[in-house]
Amino acid sequence: MASQARQRRSAPQAPPAAQAPRAAQAPPAESAFPAATEAAANAANAANTAETVESTSDTQLRQFYRDMLLIRRFEERAARAYTEALVGGYCHLNLGEEAAVVGLMAALKPTDYLFTNYREHGYALMRGIDPKNVMAELYGRVDGVSKGWGGSMHMFDVTHRLLGGYGIVGGQLPLATGAALAIDYKNQADVVMCTMGDGTSAIGAFHESLNLAALWHLPVVFVIINNGLGMGTTVAKSSAEPELYKRGAAYRMQSARVDGFDPVAVHEAATKAIAAARSGHPYLLEVVTERLRGHSVVDPAKYRSAEEVERLKHEDPIHLFGAKLTANGVLDPDTIKTIEEEVAAIVTNAADFAAGSPHPEVATLFDYTYATPVANDSRRLPGQPLFEPLPIPAGANP
């Protein structure tokens, strides 16, 4: 990563790192309380990562590559569908964050819980939800994950333990903490993972949630997906402590930072964090990545300099990982082509399925909104009074 991006994430005095390899710019770091020095923690983390790279099977490495590509092609298709007005509301994509999503999700057990934000399609796919149902939700159709009523930002699937999908920045944090409290209360072995953006780590709910999670030793991993931007505002401009994982120190919570372009490193860091949380030590993991496009599909990201736009053309986690695996003999051009074809077919089928799925009946609008049935008043026309006008008393002068 070029120096500009590094400055964006780091303290203003961080040294320039022109041409340095990405991993060197987003070094694994860790803080634990009580802890050895940060240098020792870094060395231990780096050693662990190297071990895991070696111990990751070729099959799993290819699976990581395939999953990253699935998210990429799915998101590209979602963007296209949005510009064709097939998708309504907002639409935020995981482009650039594929390695982070894949590494994190591979570390969860199917029985663990996930809370995330509005940038969630890749997470839904990696939780094992059928791409057809994810796409149908984007299209607002009955076969969607949330029966067509949630849309891009509000997918919810209890079977796959995806508990949302939240459009309010930080909204998922207190809920995730509450879910972890429930798990603890019931003496269950599950873990909650709660992902969020860098901008979210400045929200009040972040601090309240980390405080209670640490105080009550809850089984929760908070993950900051640091893509360097909260809409158009850089981390350097919005955070007094730009090394976001260090925020865990305020709550004596173990924390670490990992290179979000390397799915293997993310997987290993997440596995460690989840193991800690499962034994009652909540954890804060910062995953340093990039948002390759605008905040949402309609954002042209004009706040980005021409230099940064040019740099991002050469920084792509899928290309980098693919090149690494090819150099190591784990992938070859034929295998890449086969994976491309498999993924393209899945995405095309998902889009066709979504387009063929019916729109939900208006009468079901409130069916999944409240726990108890409520009258469906959705047919009221704009401007119509909420209540019938009161009868005019006899003798009154209208």
Minimum CB separation from ligand TPP for residue 192, in Å?
Answer: 19
Minimum CB separation from ligand TPP for residue 392, in Å?
Answer: 45
Minimum CB separation from ligand TPP for residue 379, in Å?
Answer: 30
Binding mask 16-55 for ligand TPP (x = CB under 6 A): ----------------------------------------
Nearer to Mg ion, 198 or 268 (CB): 198
How far apart CA 123 and CA 114 sit, in angstroms, is 9
Strand locations in the chain (E): 29-31, 113-115, 192-197, 220-226, 229-230, 233-234, 254-259, 283-288
How far apart CA 157 and CA 170 sit, in angstroms, is 20
Single out the residue of 131, 150, 197, 282 in contact with Mg ion (rule: CB under 5 A): 197
Count of residues of this chain found to bind Mg ion when the rule CB under 5 A is applied:
5
How far apart CA 374 and CA 233 sit, in angstroms, is 41
Single out the residue of 8, 9, 66, 119 in contact with ligand TPP (rule: CB under 6 A): 119
Burial class (CB in 10 A: 0-12, 13-18, 19+), 196: buried
354-373 residues in contact with Mg ion (CB under 5 A) are none
Q: Which stretch binds ligand TPP (CB under 6 A): 126-134, 223-231, 302-310, 387-395?
A: 223-231
200-259 residues in contact with Mg ion (CB under 5 A) are 227, 229-230
Single out the residue of 169, 220, 223, 330 in contact with ligand TPP (rule: CB under 6 A): 169
Q: What angle do CA 65, 68, 72 make, to 5 degrees?
A: 135
Q: Which stretch binds ligand TPP (CB under 6 A): 57-65, 143-151, 192-200, 268-276?
A: 192-200
Single out the residue of 70, 105, 229, 276 in contact with ligand TPP (rule: CB under 6 A): 229
Alpha-carbon distances, residue 11 vs 8, 228, 239, 240 (angstroms):
8, 13, 9, 8
Nearer to Mg ion, 131 or 197 (CB): 197
Minimum CB separation from ligand TPP for residue 174, in Å?
Answer: 12
Single out the residue of 197, 219, 248, 260 in contact with ligand TPP (rule: CB under 6 A): 197
Nearer to ligand TPP, 32 or 155 (CB): 155
CB 264 within 8 A of CB 103: yes
- Bridge partner list, 115: 194
Can you give the three-state secondary structure of 7-60, one letter per residue?
HHHCCCCCCCCCCCCHHHHCCCEEECCCCCCHHHHHHHHHHHHHHHHHHCCHHH
Binding mask 146-185 for Mg ion (x = CB under 5 A): ----------------------------------------
164 binds ligand TPP (CB under 6 A): no
How far apart CA 276 and CA 282 sit, in angstroms, is 7
List the structure tokens of 269. 């860091």
Q: Is residue 91 helix, strand or coil?
A: coil
274-333 residues in contact with ligand TPP (CB under 6 A) are 291, 295
Single out the residue of 227, 234, 239, 255 in contact with ligand TPP (rule: CB under 6 A): 227
Question: How far separated are the first and last CA of the chain, in Å rounded?
Answer: 75
Nearer to ligand TPP, 168 or 298 (CB): 168
167 binds ligand TPP (CB under 6 A): yes
**DSSP 3-state helix, strand, coil percentages of the chain (rounded to 5)?**
45, 10, 45
195 binds Mg ion (CB under 5 A): no
DSSP letter string, 332-394: -HHHHHHHHHHHHHHHHHHHHHHHHSPPPPGGGTTTTTSSS-----TTPPTT--SSPPPPPPT
Single out the residue of 137, 198, 243, 286 in contact with Mg ion (rule: CB under 5 A): 198
Nearer to ligand TPP, 198 or 243 (CB): 198
How far apart CA 384 and CA 288 sit, in angstroms, is 51
List the structure tokens of 48. 């662990």
Q: Which stretches of the chain bind Mg ion, using CB under 5 A?
A: 197-198, 227, 229-230
